[in-house]
Amino acid sequence: MPKYSQLAETLIGSEIVKLGNAISERIRAGEKIYNFTIGDFDPSIFPIPEALEEEIIRAYKEKYTNYPSADGILELRQSVQTFIRDWEGVEFQPNEIQIASGGRPLIFSLFQTLVDKGDKIIYGVPSWNNNHYVHMTSGEHCVIECKPENDFMPTVEEIRPHVKGATLLCICTPQNPTGTTLNRESLEAICDLVLEENKHRGDYDKKLYVMFDQMYWTLTYSNTQHFHPIQVRPSMKPYTIYIGGISKAFAATGVRVGWALGPEGVIAKMKAILSHVGAWAPMAEQKATARFLQRKEDMITYFSHFKAEIEYRLRTIYDGIQALRNKGYSVDCIEPQAAIYLTLKLDLVGKTLPNGKQLEVQSDVTHYILDQAKLAVVPFSAFGMDSNSPWYRMSIGTCKKEEIATMLQQLEAALEQLA
């Protein structure tokens, strides 16, 4: 067998993409499956805003098809500056903003900018891809097993033992995969811990930075509020790098426009790395996004409908799962707060099938629910949790409202067969 680099030999591909591809194959073969696996949108259900579509078409007609600048066109960085100032109340200058083709290249370049081999990176699980980015930079994994009673978010008490000498703390809120958020008090306590740690470090020591992934920050429901570090502690600005973009805010996952906001020095190094990778957002899409972000009324109109449609699906499925729980079935879920995800619990290990076979491990549960209820969900083990965690992510980006009742009926029928 040929030998490749240590990274290539040891890197694990995306478990979520692998699972999603397997489900897609079964659907293409004609099987009816309720697919809640991929954190994406069906454009026929959740199209991008018409105003954004118009601006993209206009930009191509105006021949914006050349290379953009390495940090993103100035017009877009200025629009992002205004958007973040108006909607989140925090000011970043254009030289503190980096544009790329979605969030992934930005996270990759941030890790490459800050992390040396052996550096400590703190992150909670379940979480999206932090384990892989740590692996790619040969960092030291400081993993926090988050608890359902804390909405699967890390607490300051859980973070504290790891901060001495750590380089990066990864926080995502609203969170993928849980759809839960970090409340103000918890975020304040975490920021105070970071500030205290950095105060004790010398001028030539690496600081402890926070990667604050807020890709879903516009998608909060009911009384849920999104809080961010500089909002609750302005002195966090030198140590915080925000990751955001249009992918989830405007159902524009394939349009590929993301941004990082942070200290000028960090952003400059990220720019240098990305200039070699070439992972910039396409020129026309940058031009279109720059114009669209200036159309505030169009954004408000879009959010009103878009968020209502997402919340309806999350709430209806949540209510259905709670009804099953009240009937005595071993299922549960966390009340929806944000993003496009519902956290589902299928506590079925040990149950017996009609043929006498027992569900011995959690993967048996996953396969049983898929085969009998035709329900495809992602186990939290794909997000770094133990393989026998009974918790799952349900993504509603491809969910049709008219199919929810049938899906829940089939789930109940599958549960009813278990002794």
Mean pLDDT in residue range 396-413: 97
| pTM greater than the 0.85 cutoff | yes
- Residues 343-383 have pLDDT tens digits of 999 999 999 998 889 999 999 999 999 999 999 999 999 99
Mean pLDDT in residue range 29-52: 94
Q: How confident is the model at residue 18 (pLDDT cuts 50, 70, 90)?
A: confident
Averaged pLDDT score across all residues of the chain: 95
Whether the per-residue pLDDT at 312 is higher than 90: the answer is yes
Lowest mean pLDDT among 181-190, 246-255, 381-390: 381-390
Query: 3-state SS of the chain?
Result: CCCCCHHHHHCCCCHHHHHHHHHHHHHHCCCCCEECCCCCCCCCCCCCCHHHHHHHHHHHHCCCCCCCCCCCCHHHHHHHHHHHHHHHCCCCCHHHEEEECCHHHHHHHHHHHHCCCCCEEEEEECCCCHHHHHHHCCCEEEEEECCHHHCCCCCHHHHHHHCCCEEEEEEECCCCCCCCCCCHHHHHHHHHHHHHHHHCCCCCCCCCEEEEECCCCCCECCCCCCCCHHHHCHHHHHHEEEEEECCCCCCCCCCCCEEEECCHHHHHHHHHHHHHHCCCCCHHHHHHHHHHCCCHHHHHHHHHHHHHHHHHHHHHHHHHHHHHHHCCCCEEECCCCECCEEEEEECCCCCECCCCCECCCHHHHHHHHHHHHCEECEEHHHHCCCCCCCEEEEECCCCCHHHHHHHHHHHHHHHHCCC
CATH class of the domain at 6-46+300-416 = alpha beta
CATH number of this structure's domain 66-295, picked from the four choices 3.40.50.9100, 3.40.50.720, 3.40.640.10, 2.40.110.10: 3.40.640.10
pLDDT reported for residue 161: 97
Do 6-46+300-416 and 66-295 fold alike per CATH? no
- Residues 266-288 have pLDDT tens digits of 999 999 999 999 999 999 999 99
Whether the per-residue pLDDT at 2 is higher than 80: the answer is no
Q: How confident is the model at residue 203 (pLDDT cuts 50, 70, 90)?
A: confident
Q: Where are the domains of the chain?
A: 6-46+300-416, 66-295
Whether the per-residue pLDDT at 1 is higher than 90: the answer is no
pLDDT reported for residue 165: 95
